[in-house]
Structure 1
Amino acid sequence: MTSSEIVELRRALGQLRHCVGSLRTRYGDVAAVQRLANDVERMDIDATELIDLDSTPRQREAPRVEREVVVVPDTPYDPKLWHDADDEGLGGYRHT
């Protein structure tokens, strides 16, 4: 971000803040005006983060960690594994 872009961004945020202040004077502290004020504050915070990010050297990415791959076979399970087990999702039907 160039310095002129930063100046323009700050100017635009200042104008927005002024407009929200005028709306607050006219309509009071209604929910819509509060939301607009929060939005302007959030944009100001985000702009500051971008400016700080742009002015600091980038950090290197953390090294990737190898993860163990677990292969789950798609072959049928041994039917003995399910012997005497209830099929709870099937209304109590029981394989025998």
Structure 2
Amino acid sequence: MSVHDDLTAIQRSLDDLARSVGRLEQRLGSGGLDLRRVRTDADHLRESFALLRAAAAVPDAPRRPDLVPIPDTPYDGSLWTDSDDEGLGARDRRAP
């Protein structure tokens, strides 16, 4: 099965679940805590699946940021003339 087929099968199952929960609500009433929890869980599952389907619809989306190449050549020392050596204290004092 392809991903599209799997997503379609899951959508059908979720639709069946929603219909079944709706029938239970009609028969038992929607005031019970247990049935409200089932309805809420089914709704959350539908929302989560919608997010999954949206993510699967964009297969070319980058999964991680592009890598930035770091050159092997030394950096220009003049870039750090106005800063102290961090973590080592000032140049004219001793560390405790």
Query: What is the Cα-based RMSD across aligned positions, in Å?
Result: 2.1
Runs of 4+ with >6 A deviation: none
- TM-score normalised by structure 1 residue count: 0.58
Structure 1 position 49, deviation (Å)? 0.8
- TM-score normalised by structure 2 residue count: 0.58
Aligned length: 65
> Where does the alignment leave 5 or more consecutive residues of structure 1 unmatched?
65-69, 71-96
> Where does the alignment leave 5 or more consecutive residues of structure 2 unmatched?
68-86, 88-96
Task: Return the alpha-carbon distance in structure 2 between the equivalents of residues 39 and 23 of structure 1.
Answer: 15
Task: Return the alpha-carbon distance in structure 2 between the equivalents of residues 60 and 36 of structure 1.
Answer: 34
Letter in 2 for 1:39: D
- Alpha-carbon displacement from aligned partner over 1:1-30 (angstroms, at most 9, x marks no partner): 611111111110011001101110111111
Partner of 2:57: 55
